[in-house]
Structure 1
Amino acid sequence: MITHVDKNLAAQIIQTVKQTCNQEIHFIDHDGIIYASSNNAKVGVYQEAALTALKSQAMVEIKEDNHFNNIKKGVNLPVFHNNSIITIIGIAGDPDEVRSYAYLAEQITQLLIRDQELYVSSRTETEMRNYIIQSLIHGRNLNQEHLYTCLAQMELTKTASLRCMVIKLHSRYNLTNIALIEQSIYQLFQSTSITLYTYNYPNEYIALINDTQFEACVPVFQNFAKQYDHIINIAIGGRFEISHMANSYRTALFTLKSLANKHTPFAVFDDLNLEIILTNLDHTTKDNYLLKTVAALSSEEMELLEIYYEEDMSLTKTCERLYLHKNTVQYKLDRIHKLCGYNPRKFRDAVILYIATRIH
């Protein structure tokens, strides 16, 4: 909670009010000392009327100059925030003329103080979210009690089941434009009621999703991934209790890695099967496998195989997707058999070719 107006903020307010008021404007502390002023020579000067305003908790008006006590006419207005006086504003001049300027300065001060508190509150919440997520996904929290207190503030219990979602920007994306996609990502979190998320430098966003809302959110995530295809990939890890979020994060990263072998920007760990094996293959192994099996095939023939297996080896459905006659598709499948030596229609050969399409 903010309990005083600092010098920088006071100077900003003075500069604003000075545009409409030509009188001296002072900000005075609880000891009656001017700490900011439109007249730098007055900084450090004691202002007795300000202490009177502080004690009475009301505006004090000096209607005449008193040269003997070096007191000039003007007003001294205490400024309240959360029922406490945070500063006293003094403006020199005829009270009837400068009173309105004092109230103007008061309103500006209160407005800026509220803005500062909102910023601090927002920043504090952002830091807390980041602390929670980093502690959970890396399993390196040193203060378990503090972590559980933070979880309670986010309305989560230590036995809740969550999933870790990773949204990763493609390396070729220009990070100078990150604000554009970032706004859309935060809107995605808001629309799906996700409150626990953070940015992970340089190109990763991490969110923890309550498993009870997961199924309803999947279509939204899929549509978002399609909308920003070629910019982001979205991977969702397995379901674990909150104390085992490191496992969910690990499976989310694994799922993210599996997308390199798929023609989709979205995947859930639960849906992986063959990918669990294929993702762990190194590039040399993959290249050797492709060289041995489908090196003689063109990209068009590889696409035919992909569609053929996606349609469960149905000639009719394959023809419909490719807008080809059944005889044409059969001819192309026969040609593939001749070129690579594996028959796409034979079960064992089909498995070999299917794996090739998945790592191609």
Structure 2
Amino acid sequence: MNVSKGVAQSIVEEMKKIINQDINYFDTNSTIIASTDKSRIGQYHGGAKKVIERNNDLIIRYDEQYEGAKKGINLPVYFENEIVGVIGITGDKEEVEKYGQIIQRMTEILIREEYIKEQESIERESKRQFIEELLFRSNSDEKTLLLRGELLNIKISIPRVVVVARLLDVDDREALLTPNVNKSILKIFRNNIDKDLQNLIVQNSTDFIMILKIISQSNIERIINNIMENVKRIYDGKIFFGIGDISNNSKEIKKSYIEAKKALDLAVIYNRSNLIYYKNMDIGLLIDDITKESSDKYLSKVFNQMETDQIDEYMLIFSTLVKHNGSINKTSDELFIHKNTLQYRLNKLRELTGYDPRVLSDIAVLQIAFILYKLKK
């Protein structure tokens, strides 16, 4: 194993905080690759060469006793019973000898921790690539996926369900998260599903995609509720979930993902429930069968006189109105506008589309139009 310069430098800097002596790390070529005395980085060290050759500690009693060496102590660093480098403490023998074994052991522990992190990162990246192929590539071979899954200890042919989550800001727009907030939220998702190694997660743009092993519906909902509660503690916005049907192979997992996305889109449009199952979709199931040509004609008929920004604005007003079952007072309160202003905008929507959101028969027409518009984006 090769210890990187970055890892070695962080180790020597941490060690100096403990003993307040200059510390060096040498690679197996006896070159100083990290040091709290930056001027020494890159230099050859004859003492380190002796440590590697003899496989033993070395006290250097005076400067240049060995080429490029200063007085101090140098000790071999082991990883899985092999020397991977040498750690050195600069100073008088009486000052540094007492720290030797402590620094050696702590260095080995930190190297092992970095190795574990690196392996976890490699495994996570391998899983991410596998999940993306599983969900997004239409020409993936089932046998190849099964084999790759086995290598990653992922069993495709067990009952699974895909759950897709999305965060919106306070204005019902897709959330633009800072890297730190995004990392914290992703950690919340992982903490709630990592108890079972067959549960998988990947982030795709603003969506968090979970592929969960089926235990029970209540277990899935418990995971989702825990995620919602924890996300609310660090994010002042909304989070929605769509859940696809149960799958038992790679093709069905793709199908479950598509279903979960459609359920999620409907949850966002309705803005009434944080969670929608594809199997429980009502009008959304009918819309799912509408062709693109029919959808475009329908949207052109209803929104012909409206610009995109107008449709977005009125979609929020309409979905809030539907959420509150047509209550003007509750809708105006949630949107922070006067009820007369709300009535004016509803009248304007009727003028632009020809359909009145306060008339029962027209509500269905507008609802379908807004859903089709949202699904098209």
Which TM-score applies when normalising by structure 2?
0.64
AA aligned to 1:168 is: R
Task: Evaluate the alpha carbon distance shift between residue 152 and residue 88 of structure 1 in structure 2; reply closer, same or farther with a 3 A threshold.
Answer: same
In 1, Cα distance between equivalents of 2:108 and 2:191:
30
1:219 corresponding residue in structure 2: 221
Q: Structure 1 residue 75: deviation in Å?
A: 2.4
Q: Is the 8 A contact 2:45 2:68 kept in 1?
A: no
- Indicate which of 161, 167, 175 corresponds to 1:173: 175
Q: Is the 8 A contact 1:53 1:59 kept in 2?
A: yes
SS of the equivalent of 2:325 reads helix
In 2, Cα distance between equivalents of 1:60 and 1:248:
63
Q: Which moved more, 1:186-195 or 1:240-249?
A: 186-195
In 2, Cα distance between equivalents of 1:34 and 1:222:
50
SS of the equivalent of 1:238 reads coil
Q: Is the 8 A contact 2:71 2:92 kept in 1?
A: yes
Q: Structure 1 residue 145: deviation in Å?
A: 6.7
- Superposed CA RMSD in Å reads 4.1
In 1, Cα distance between equivalents of 2:362 and 2:212:
37
Q: How does 1:213-252 map to 2 (within 5 A)?
A: 213-220=215-222, 223=225, 231-244=238-251, 245-252=253-260
- Cα deviations by residue, 1:93-115 (Å, 9 ceiling, x for unpaired): 44332112333432342233133
Q: Structure 1 residue 21: deviation in Å?
A: 5.6
1:10 corresponding residue in structure 2: 8
Q: Is the 8 A contact 1:77 1:90 kept in 2?
A: yes
Q: Structure 1 residue 252: deviation in Å?
A: 1.6
Give unmatched runs, 5+ long, in structure 1: 289-298, 306-349
- Indicate which of 110, 113, 116 corresponds to 1:112: 110
Q: Is the 8 A contact 1:17 1:104 kept in 2?
A: no
Q: How does 1:57-136 map to 2 (within 5 A)?
A: 57-63=55-61, 73-136=71-134
In 2, Cα distance between equivalents of 1:20 and 1:51:
26
Q: Structure 1 residue 205: deviation in Å?
A: 0.5
Q: Is the 8 A contact 2:33 2:42 kept in 1?
A: yes
Give unmatched runs, 5+ long, in structure 2: 305-320, 328-359, 371-377
Q: Is the 8 A contact 1:24 1:39 kept in 2?
A: no
2:211 corresponding residue in structure 1: 208
- Cα deviations by residue, 1:4-53 (Å, 9 ceiling, x for unpaired): 33333333344444456676643333344444442735843341x43332
Q: Is the 8 A contact 2:11 2:107 kept in 1?
A: yes
1:335 corresponding residue in structure 2: none
In 2, Cα distance between equivalents of 1:73 and 1:221:
58
- Indicate which of 168, 193, 200 corresponds to 1:196: 200
AA aligned to 1:164 is: V
In 2, Cα distance between equivalents of 1:146 and 1:70:
54
Q: Is the 8 A contact 1:74 1:91 kept in 2?
A: yes
1:303 corresponding residue in structure 2: 325
Quick check: 1:186 aligned with 2:190? yes
Larger radius of gyration: 1
Task: Evaluate the alpha carbon distance shift between residue 167 and residue 83 of structure 1 in structure 2; reply closer, same or farther with a 3 A threshold.
Answer: same
In 2, Cα distance between equivalents of 1:69 and 1:137:
58
Q: Is the 8 A contact 1:173 1:231 kept in 2?
A: no
Task: Evaluate the alpha carbon distance shift between residue 286 and residue 129 of structure 1 in structure 2; reply closer, same or farther with a 3 A threshold.
Answer: farther
Q: Which moved more, 1:80-89 or 1:190-199?
A: 190-199
2:351 corresponding residue in structure 1: none
Q: Is the 8 A contact 2:199 2:213 kept in 1?
A: no
SS of the equivalent of 2:246 reads strand
AA aligned to 2:276 is: A
AA aligned to 2:134 is: L
Q: Which moved more, 1:273-282 or 1:72-81?
A: 273-282
Q: Is the 8 A contact 1:60 1:76 kept in 2?
A: yes
Task: Evaluate the alpha carbon distance shift between residue 357 and residue 13 of structure 1 in structure 2; reply closer, same or farther with a 3 A threshold.
Answer: closer
Q: Structure 1 residue 237: deviation in Å?
A: 1.3
1:291 corresponding residue in structure 2: none
Equivalent residues, number: 299
AA aligned to 2:277 is: V
